[in-house]
Amino acid sequence: MKTTIILPDELMTEVKVLAARERRKLGEMMTDLVQAGIESRTRRQPGDQSARRRAARAWLAKWEWMSDELNAALPAGGSIVEEMIRDRDRRC
């Protein structure tokens, strides 16, 4: 397929230099570079997403643990909000 794309002059110069060094046609070089870029992005995304998910789960687990600790320290039937209000009133 033929298409027209607009690239910065400096980038196109780099592509031409790479093609000349490797003694390849410019079209072949562009195809390989675009393909490599696509593969790089698709390879990186799942890992990034799973790392973000693990970080989010760890953050949530920490908050759940803190909530459990606070609830255990409260009098029976009390809520964290009620305790915060009492604490605020004691300080005022």
What type of residue sits at position 35?
Answer: Q
Q: For residue 53, name the pLDDT band (cuts at 50, 70, 90).
A: confident
Domain boundaries, the chain: 9-91
- pLDDT at residue number 87: 79
For residue 46, is pLDDT > 70? Answer: no
Q: Which range (17-26, 30-39, 62-71, 75-84) has the least confidence? A: 75-84
What's the mean pLDDT in 9-32?
Answer: 92
Give CA–CA dist 58/48, Å, rounded. Answer: 15
- pLDDT at residue number 81: 78
DSSP 8-class letter at 63 = H
